[in-house]
């Protein structure tokens, strides 16, 4: 009965392949390019995400574009903003809040 | 604990830790340290005065950014200009923009995988973001620097999600062009040469 298991395994693999190919063909290169940022940002609904993803990852024309845009997105996402609130400003903010009553009714004084 | 104490405690626990984020947002919006300081101070004052309107445990950073941005628009008297932009050229259909992947087209023979993006120093990227037109800058700051989802960006900027998408798309394209120019100037990536162009032409025959 081993051959039955093997046949089922091959059928499953074949179905998956057909399914991915069908997904990839569900959108055109132009549509995939239009959606590339939304796809990279995980902002597409699951159905469209699967279609666009399948296309971008399997299309010889679109895949280099995906790699390029992904590199850009990663570079921007890792940018760190190092500015912190100046100490003087922090003090001014706390003073203005205290003038409004902040801290005058702390939980410990209940 | 009475209501006032709870009011202060939750404000301290949720709002105050966002002070640096609000200050940076104000800096990027206004491009001025003095203005950023005023905006940050006024934002926290307004937030404290209206703290009961904030739903605890929800998106406090977005709520503070909304206050900060509204103050910025009001004080800068940008309202009219902003409205003009909302209905004007800024919200170009992304389908018209997507064909403008000019940087990819320009470098695909030299650096198709975009390695040069990784060579950019943070300060230069921030400068390029600061130079973006206002409406695109907002979208890029909130989405790319702050990592907020489109829906939250839309709520802060008070536009439909579709508008956020198109502004982000256009903003990123402009940013790519600015950073590419910088990369060429700094020698991070070479300029296209006549030889390369000739070779590409011969290769395609």
CB contact under 8 A, A68 and B125: no
Structure tokens at A82: 């190092």
Q: Flag whether A100 is in a domain.
A: no
CB contact under 8 A, A71 and B114: yes
Share of chain A above pLDDT 90, in %: 60
Quote the number of domains for chain A. 1
- Is A79 touching B (CB cutoff 8 A)? yes
Q: Report the pLDDT value the prediction gives residue B2, as an integer from 0 to 100.
A: 62
Cβ proximity of B23 and B61 under 8 Å = no
**Chain A residues whose beta carbon lies within 8 Å of the beta carbon of residue B4:** 101, 105
- pLDDT of residue B93 exceeding 90, the answer is no
Q: Flag whether A43 is in a domain.
A: yes
CB contact under 8 A, A101 and B4: yes
Q: Flag whether A45 is in a domain.
A: yes
Q: Flag whether A93 is in a domain.
A: no
Q: Report the pLDDT value the prediction gives residue B78, as an integer from 0 to 100.
A: 52
- Among A17-21, B3-7, B152-156, the range with the most confident prediction by mean pLDDT is B152-156
What's the pTM value of the predicted model, to 2 decimals?
0.79
- One DSSP character per residue, B69-107 reads HHHHHHHHT-HHHHHHHHTTGGG--HHHHGGG-HHHHHH
> In which band, very low, low, confident or very high, does the pLDDT at B202 lie, cut at 50, 70 and 90?
very low
CB contact under 8 A, A79 and B126: yes
**Chain A residues whose beta carbon lies within 8 Å of the beta carbon of residue B140:** 76
Report how far residue B78's alpha carbon sits from residue B65's, in angstroms, rounded to the nearest whole number.
17
> In which band, very low, low, confident or very high, does the pLDDT at A12 lie, cut at 50, 70 and 90?
low
- pLDDT of residue B89 exceeding 50, the answer is no
Among A78, A93, A110, most B C-beta atoms within 10 A, so best to mutate, is A93
Residue scoring higher pLDDT (A25 or A102)? A102
Q: Flag whether A62 is in a domain.
A: yes
Cβ proximity of B117 and B68 under 8 Å = no
Q: Flag whether A101 is in a domain.
A: no
Q: Flag whether A36 is in a domain.
A: yes
Residue scoring higher pLDDT (A43 or A7)? A43
Q: Report the pLDDT value the prediction gives residue B102, as an integer from 0 to 100.
A: 83
Nearest to B8 among A34, A41, A103 (CB): A103
**Chain A residues whose beta carbon lies within 8 Å of the beta carbon of residue B64:** none
**What tens digit of pLDDT does each residue of A48-74 get?**
999 999 999 999 989 999 999 999 999
Return the ∠ at Cα A21 (arms to B100 and A28), rounded to 5°.
25
Q: Report the pLDDT value the prediction gives residue A105, as an integer from 0 to 100.
A: 61
**Which CB contacts under 8 angstroms, 24+ apart, belong to B110-114?**
B110/B189, B110/B190, B110/B192, B110/B196, B111/B189, B112/A64, B112/A67, B112/A68, B113/A64, B113/A67, B113/A68, B113/A71, B114/A67, B114/A68, B114/A69, B114/A70, B114/A71, B114/A72, B114/A75
- Is A65 touching B (CB cutoff 8 A)? yes
Shortest Cα distance, chain A CAs vs residue B45, angstroms: 6
**Chain A residues whose beta carbon lies within 8 Å of the beta carbon of residue B37:** 86, 89, 92
> In which band, very low, low, confident or very high, does the pLDDT at B193 lie, cut at 50, 70 and 90?
low
Task: Report the chain A residue with the minimal C-alpha distance to residue B6.
Answer: A107
Contacting residues for B143 by C-beta, under 8 A, at least 6 apart? A41, B150, B153, B164, B168
Share of chain A above pLDDT 70, in %: 74
Report how far residue B21's alpha carbon sits from residue B10's, in angstroms, rounded to the nearest whole number.
18
- pLDDT of residue A17 exceeding 60, the answer is no
> In which band, very low, low, confident or very high, does the pLDDT at A1 lie, cut at 50, 70 and 90?
very low
**Chain A residues whose beta carbon lies within 8 Å of the beta carbon of residue B94:** 34
Q: Report the pLDDT value the prediction gives residue A103, as an integer from 0 to 100.
A: 83
CB contact under 8 A, B20 and A85: yes
**What tens digit of pLDDT does each residue of B43-88 get?**
999 999 999 999 877 899 999 999 999 999 988 765 555 544 444 4
- pLDDT of residue A15 exceeding 60, the answer is no
DSSP three-state, residue A55 = helix
Full set of structural domains in chain B with CATH? 3-77 (1.10.1740.10), 91-203 (1.10.10.10)
**What tens digit of pLDDT does each residue of B9-39 get?**
999 999 999 999 999 999 999 999 999 999 9
Q: Report the pLDDT value the prediction gives residue A7, as an integer from 0 to 100.
A: 52
Range of the domain at A42: 11-80
Q: Flag whether A89 is in a domain.
A: no
**Chain A residues whose beta carbon lies within 8 Å of the beta carbon of residue B110:** none
Report how far residue B135's alpha carbon sits from residue B113's, in angstroms, rounded to the nearest whole number.
29
> In which band, very low, low, confident or very high, does the pLDDT at A14 lie, cut at 50, 70 and 90?
low
Nearest to A68 among B45, B104, B144 (CB): B104
- pLDDT of residue B135 exceeding 60, the answer is yes
């Amino acid at each position: 009965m081993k051959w039955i298991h093997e046949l089922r395994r091959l059928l499953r693999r074949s179905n998956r392949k057909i399914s991915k190919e069908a997904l990839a063909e569900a959108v055109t290169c132009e549509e995939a390019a239009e959606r590339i940022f939304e796809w990279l940002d995980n902002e597409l609904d699951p159905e469209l995400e699967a279609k666009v993803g399948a296309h971008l990852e399997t299309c010889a024309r679109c895949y280099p574009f995906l790699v390029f845009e992904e590199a850009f997105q990663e570079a921007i996402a890792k940018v760190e903003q190092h500015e912190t609130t100046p100490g003087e400003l922090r003090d001014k903010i706390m003073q203005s809040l205290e003038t409004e009553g902040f801290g005058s009714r702390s939980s410990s004084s209940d | 604990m009475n209501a006032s104490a709870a009011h202060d405690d939750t404000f301290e626990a949720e709002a105050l830790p966002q002070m640096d984020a609000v200050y940076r947002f104000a800096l990027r919006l206004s491009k001025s340290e003095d203005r950023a300081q005023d905006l940050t101070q006024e934002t926290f004052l307004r937030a404290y005065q209206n703290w009961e309107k904030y739903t605890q445990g929800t998106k406090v950073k977005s709520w503070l950014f909304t206050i900060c941005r509204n103050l910025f628009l009001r004080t800068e008297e940008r309202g009219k200009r902003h409205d003009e932009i909302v209905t004007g050229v800024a919200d170009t259909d992304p389908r018209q923009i997507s064909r403008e992947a000019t940087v990819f087209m320009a470098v695909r023979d030299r650096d198709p995988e975009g390695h040069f993006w990784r060579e950019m120093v943070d300060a230069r990227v921030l400068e390029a973001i600061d130079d973006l037109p206002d409406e695109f800058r907002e979208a890029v700051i909130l989405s790319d620097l702050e990592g907020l989802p489109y829906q939250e960006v839309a709520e802060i900027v008070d536009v439909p999600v579709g508008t956020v998408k198109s502004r982000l798309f256009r903003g990123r394209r402009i940013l790519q062009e600015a950073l590419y120019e910088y990369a060429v100037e700094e020698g991070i990536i070479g300029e296209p040469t006549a030889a390369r162009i000739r070779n590409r032409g011969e290769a395609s025959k």
